[in-house]
Structure 1
Amino acid sequence: MDPNLLYWKNQGQSFFSRLRIWFDLLDPSSLLSTDEEIQKAHNILGNGEISKEGGGNAPNLSLSAVHADSGDALPIVFRPPALMLMSTPLVVASFLPHTSVKQALYWQLMKQTYFAGFNFTNRNSSAEKSKKISPKQLLLVAGTVSYTTCAGALPQIFTNRLGIRSTSLLTLFRSILPIPLSAALGAFSVFTIRNEETETGIKVFDSNGNPVGLSKAAGQKAVKETALSRAALFGTSAAVPNLLVLLLNRTRFFQKSSLLVAPLRHMTVAIVFGLMIPTSFSLFPQLGTIKKEHVEEELKAAAEDGQLFYHRGL
């Protein structure tokens, strides 16, 4: 079992312990580390030398920059610490009430492309025999980006094509509909891009960290948990700002100062999205568990303590 997974097993089995770890891991200063420093930190973590001088920051650097299946350094733009820097402007822009369909499609395309890359890079790749991207994976990524881009722009498409002017209908399409739509598309992107894990299975480990085989049931559980966490990330990031603006628009102050609504929405989206990143990452353990009765027959004998472990991905 990779040192990163062993660390999560020992330190990250409760929600609050995971949340504390993720707040440390998302420090963007770690993006300045070189590949040599990252591999050194990974080796230090694997050798259990984190208490020695110079190894104190090794867990954070290893967990935030090394893929737990391959042991390789993640591309810098798709590392967890880069997520807020890279995607916050895209998320804020995608939630804006645009004036044209082209604008809505453009920002949806940018956001969905980035998160498709993030989902693919941080997937569980333990069952893959080659590091090269297969044609099927490329089609899944391209198809997912195309579908989610068009679906994400549907509120603006409906508003423009139907020529909606009613205040109540505009509120529905611009403030209410984006909430479940954002959550659903976030989950859909994970399900489709990581579909191969549910078909081929992912590597599972016994309580001693030894690999015992591939499990489709574990793959399905890992993808489902990650999809739910992504739905929570986007659904909450859309719900809180939109509902807050709807409430404030009823007050006299904001009715007289309508120019304050737009910057308030932008700031609220950025703040809520930033807080939801570590929260959504912490909803489920990075080293998940699956009960003996839920795995394939040939793997049940290896679950001596009643469960097996798997890498959930991110």
Structure 2
Amino acid sequence: MDPNLFFWKSEGQSFFSRFKIWVNILDPTSLLSSDAKIKKAHGLKLDDWDEEAVTLSLSSVHADSGDVLPLMLRPAAFLSVSAPLVVAGFLPHINVKYALLWQFFLQSYQTRFTLANRNTSSEKQSKKLSSKQLLLSAGTVCYATCAGSLPQIMIYKLGVSSEVIKAVLRTMLPIPLSAAVAFVSVYTVRSEESQTGIQVFDSNGNLVGLSKAAGQKAVKETALSRAALFGTSAAVPSLLITLLWRTRVIQKSSVLIAPLRYMSIVMGFGLMIPVSFSLFPQLGTIKKDNVEKNLQEAACDGLLYYHRGL
């Protein structure tokens, strides 16, 4: 078992402990560290890990391959790269083309981030993506781009003129739509884990084998956490703007709505990232009765462990 997973086993069992760890991991200053420094931190024994080594290793090294993650696909870069794309994706555009363009950028990055941080324990013989994985990823980006642009498509292609209906399509529909798109995207991109299985470990960190049941659980948990992230990020600005419209200040100065919307999207998204990442343990557990029969004997304490991915 990778040192990162041993750390999560000892320190990340409660939501609040995971949240505290993720706040440190998401510190963008870790992106300035060199690969050599990151590998050195990851190579240290757990007893020698200080706060800097923990942050560098957890934020920059993949827990299955032990390789340093690409700079822009590390958790610490997630907010910096995604926030502008999320803001642009949630804004009302003057035509469908701009909506599709920004959704394409957003969904492309989200798909690539999911691929880079997925569980790769069953793929150690080949670091290249399979043709099936590439097709699934490309299809996911296309589907998610169209689905994410659905409110704009409905307004302009159907010729919606009612301001009430426009408001509903722009403020209310994106909430369930964003959550659903995020869930389906993760589930599709990581579907191979459910089909081929992922590595599971006993309580001592010894490899037991591959489990499809664990793969299904890992993918479902990650998909739910991503749905919570984007669903809540879409809900915060909509609810905030609705409340602000009732105040006299906003009614007199409606020009404040646009900057307040931008700020609320960024703040909501930024606050939800560590929350969503903390919803489920990085080192997940699965009961022995829920795994394949040939793996049940290895669950001495009734549980087996797996890397959930991100």
TM surpasses 0.5: yes
Residue 203 of structure 1 corresponds to: 199
1:233-312 to 2 correspondence within 5 Å? 233-312=229-308
Gaps of at least 5 residues in structure 1 are: none
User: TM-score normalised to the size of structure 1?
Assistant: 0.97
Q: Deviations over 1:59-87 (max 9, x none)?
A: 11000000000000000000000001111
Work out whether 1:100 is the aligned partner of 2:99.
no
Give the superposition deviation at 1:19. Answer: 0.3
Residue 181 of structure 2 aligns with an amino acid whose one-letter code is: L
Work out whether 1:48 is the aligned partner of 2:47.
yes
Q: 1:253, 1:34 → 2: CA distance?
A: 49
Report sequence identity in percent.
Answer: 64
Q: Deviations over 1:272-312 (max 9, x none)?
A: 10000001000000000000110011111011100100000
Q: 2:240, 2:25 → 1: CA distance?
A: 30
Residue 48 of structure 2 aligns with an amino acid whose one-letter code is: E
The question of whether the paired residues in 1 share the 8 Å contact of 2:285 and 2:305 is answered with yes
Residue 8 of structure 2 corresponds to: 8
The question of whether the paired residues in 1 share the 8 Å contact of 2:61 and 2:69 is answered with yes
Q: 1:173, 1:293 → 2: CA distance?
A: 45
Q: 2:48, 2:260 → 1: CA distance?
A: 47
Gaps of at least 5 residues in structure 2 are: none
Q: 2:92, 2:248 → 1: CA distance?
A: 22
Aligned with 1:221: secondary structure? helix
Q: 1:106, 1:249 → 2: CA distance?
A: 30
Work out whether 1:163 is the aligned partner of 2:152.
no
Q: 1:176, 1:59 → 2: CA distance?
A: 40
RMSD: 0.9
Q: Deviations over 1:230-265 (max 9, x none)?
A: 000000000011111122223333222111111101
User: TM-score normalised to the size of structure 2?
Assistant: 0.98
Aligned with 2:284: secondary structure? strand
The question of whether the paired residues in 1 share the 8 Å contact of 2:89 and 2:103 is answered with yes
Work out whether 1:34 is the aligned partner of 2:34.
yes
Residue 217 of structure 1 aligns with an amino acid whose one-letter code is: A
Work out whether 1:138 is the aligned partner of 2:134.
yes
Work out whether 1:232 is the aligned partner of 2:228.
yes
Aligned with 2:119: secondary structure? coil
Aligned with 2:285: secondary structure? strand
